[in-house]
Structure 1
Amino acid sequence: MYKKVLVVEDEERMREIVSDYLRVSGFEVFEAGDGKMAMEIFEENQFDIVILDIMIPELDGWSVCKRIRKQSDIPIIMLTARSDEDDKLMGFELGADEYVTKPFSPKVLVARVKTLLKRIDGTIRSEEQAVNIEGIEVNKKSHIVKVDNKVVELSPKEYQLLCYMMENKGVVLSRENILNKVWGYDYFADSRVVDTHIKKLRKKLGHKSQYIRTLIRVGYKFEVN
């Protein structure tokens, strides 16, 4: 079955080029030229990933990302003409998984899409289907996370981050190591991205967040007393 992609970009020529490359690569593509249209299409279909430009009319990319995150943990790749790290951190705060700065190669964008989907699928298909540590339960077959038997909604990156830390219980993980393993070796970003996701993950884990320890100037460790 084809993976379904929603491409949200107001520059028609750019949208067509990206969509054509995705279709040639075997994706089923839906297109939207503004934020309002994007939400209408998103709510009527089931997608595997969203490619979302920030500067779009009606509803901007920030607003669309925020609304999608209230409904789904679908992977989101944001496009921007600005390379400001604060903009990227804002996107990650809202739940974006990847960031691509314009101008970019459509081939590279497609590769990023494939890598992100493959990484998420690989995490879900891990050999061990379920892990339960002190009330934090991760079912890798269904991609469901529970805290004290209550389902917790995590974004794809938050899910991968939690899995990676639980799989390395008791091991000190530097920010660079986490970036490489969760975001990929080809991903270049400020290590504050890790701090942002750790903060969001801790909030969702509630009192269980105590198991994620911060080691000043070193990194993080998932540790159970």
Structure 2
Amino acid sequence: MFKLLLIEDDTTLFSEIRERLSQWSYEIHGIHDFSLVFQEFIEINPDLVIIDIQLPKYDGFHWCRMIRSRSNVPILFLSSRDHPSDIVMSMQFGADDFIQKPFHFDVLIAKIHALLRRAYNYGAEKPELKTWRGAALDYEKNTVSNEYGSVELSKNESYILKLLVEQKNKIVSREALISRLWDDERFISDNTLTVNVNRLRKRLDELKLGHCIQTKVGQGYIAYEEDSYDQ
């Protein structure tokens, strides 16, 4: 069953679209907090996104750009705005198609079918998004992204973050980190570990996440998942 994320603040229209699309056995998700659209997108990890332009907090173009920076998921704009520049902008920000309201449901369904068929029926695998505190972690590209932006890490910083997040809310000793890094042939010393962790925190500060990596004196480091753990 395909998961569709419908980013629409008109509750009546949302319910109508969800009811019609559910008849095609699609799993329909909505947005609970329109200031956290990107975070909810990451958590849901949908197969296709349907998004309006006019939304609370930030417009659909903003969220389209954020989503496209981290994922190749098909994006379909559904909007009452009819100026040609809106269609052009949606495509420039990475959308795959645009439907103007009011629309016929048969057209919407046909376009959804076509987008899903092109994206997933020809051997393309949906990328798996790793998440931590609402941020998307891409260990291949060594990047971390959330609603505050995206930062690029060094290979060592990315690997340290990966090791800490794998054991989130648990203390990982310095010895264990160094051992894993050496096993991975990254050849990191005790002093280099300190430098890399400090640099990692500074990079994460740009995303308001630096405080989530804490030092436990004489023990090691810990990556907190929830604010309730922070001290």
2:77–2:95 contact (8 Å) kept in structure 1: yes
SS of 1:32's equivalent?
coil
In structure 1, the gaps of 5 or more residues are 126-140, 145-149, 152-225
Question: CA-to-partner distance for each residue in 1:46-105, whole Å, 9 max, x for gaps?
Answer: 210000000010121011101101110100000111222111111100000000000012
Displacement after TM superposition at 1:19 (Å): 0.9
* Structure 1 match to 2:38: 39
CA distance in 2, matches of 1:46, 1:62: 19
Task: Report the number of matched residues.
Answer: 129
CA distance change for structure 1 residues 24 and 143 in 2, over 3 Å: closer, same or farther?
A: closer
1:34–1:58 contact (8 Å) kept in structure 2: no
Give the structure-2-normalised TM-score.
0.51
CA distance in 2, matches of 1:16, 1:28: 13
Larger Cα Rg: Structure 1 or Structure 2?
Answer: 2
Displacement after TM superposition at 1:143 (Å): 8.2
* Structure 2 match to 1:96: 95
SS of 1:36's equivalent?
coil
CA distance change for structure 1 residues 143 and 23 in 2, over 3 Å: closer, same or farther?
A: closer
How do 1:23-172 residues align onto structure 2 when only pairs under 5 Å count? 23-32=22-31, 35-122=34-121, 124-125=122-123
1:35–1:64 contact (8 Å) kept in structure 2: no
1:80–1:101 contact (8 Å) kept in structure 2: yes
CA distance in 2, matches of 1:43, 1:93: 22
* Structure 2 match to 1:128: none
CA distance change for structure 1 residues 119 and 41 in 2, over 3 Å: closer, same or farther?
A: same
Query: After TM superposition, where is structure 1 displaced by more than 6 Å over at least 4 residues in a row?
Result: none
Question: CA-to-partner distance for each residue in 1:100-138, whole Å, 9 max, x for gaps?
Answer: 00001223212210111112334x24xxxxxxxxxxxxx
Aligned Cα root-mean-square deviation (Å): 2.2
SS of 1:118's equivalent?
helix
How do 1:169-184 residues align onto structure 2 when only pairs under 5 Å count? none
- The one-letter amino acid paired with 1:103 is P
* Structure 2 match to 1:17: 16
CA distance in 1, matches of 2:61, 2:115: 20
CA distance change for structure 1 residues 63 and 15 in 2, over 3 Å: closer, same or farther?
A: same
CA distance in 1, matches of 2:102, 2:59: 19
Give the structure-1-normalised TM-score.
0.53
Identity %: 30
In structure 2, the gaps of 5 or more residues are 128-139, 142-231
Displacement after TM superposition at 1:33 (Å): 6.2
- The one-letter amino acid paired with 2:98 is Y
Displacement after TM superposition at 1:32 (Å): 1.8
SS of 2:30's equivalent?
strand
1:77–1:96 contact (8 Å) kept in structure 2: yes
CA distance in 2, matches of 1:48, 1:76: 9
CA distance change for structure 1 residues 34 and 83 in 2, over 3 Å: closer, same or farther?
A: farther
CA distance change for structure 1 residues 13 and 121 in 2, over 3 Å: closer, same or farther?
A: same
